[in-house]
Amino acid sequence: MRKFSPRPSLDLVPIRQATPDDLPAIRKLEQQAETAAHWAEREYDALFAPEAPARIALLAPGNADVPDIRGFVIARAACEEWEIENLVVAAPHRRSGVASALLRELLRTAAAGGAAWVLLEVRESNVAARQLYEKIGFSQAGRRAGYYRGPFEDGLQLKISVAVP
């Protein structure tokens, strides 16, 4: 299994932590993406609730020309094992480095937070996402038969080590 190296970022895409003020833009983007994990409004509101499980939400902000966000990633931060719960990039910004920048910043944050592993599930048919994750260094760790509905299909469990030696 390959290991993520938390070296300084060379990404040209700015990334920042999301705030509660970003929730309308995050929800708007998520609703536009077919392959996103579609959460209820209360689930997004709970991201920043003090009693909620520890999570991190990062986003790639827009710019003066396009003020909407370009993408976001949300992960559950649980001690040594973090799990990516949602990663969405706006259609016009796909294949432009936004997803890679989001993932790399999340992996750096996980490593700095003491995580050993970052996990995720991806639809077996989502070839573009699987190629991205493989490029970053994720490898298949398992399969969940029938994990997804609409359409029904298996979910692949992917994993990457981020432990700092």
Query: What domains appear along the chain, each with residue ranges and CATH number?
Result: 16-120 (3.40.630.30)
Strand runs labelled E in 4-138: 16-17, 55-60, 71-78, 81-89, 117-123
Residues 87-125 have pLDDT tens digits of: 999 888 888 889 999 999 999 999 999 999 999 999 899
**CA torsion 131→132→137→139, rounded to 10°?**
-50
Return the amino acid letter for 43: E
Instruction: Name, in order, each residue with C-beta under 8 angstroms of 90's C-beta and a sequence gap of 6 or more.
Output: 29, 32, 68, 69, 70, 71, 98
Is 90 exceeded by the pLDDT of residue 57? yes
pTM of the model: 0.86
DSSP 34: T
Per-residue pLDDT, 5: 53
Percentage of residues in the chain having pLDDT higher than 90:
50
Residues 137-165 have pLDDT tens digits of: 999 999 999 888 878 889 999 999 997 76
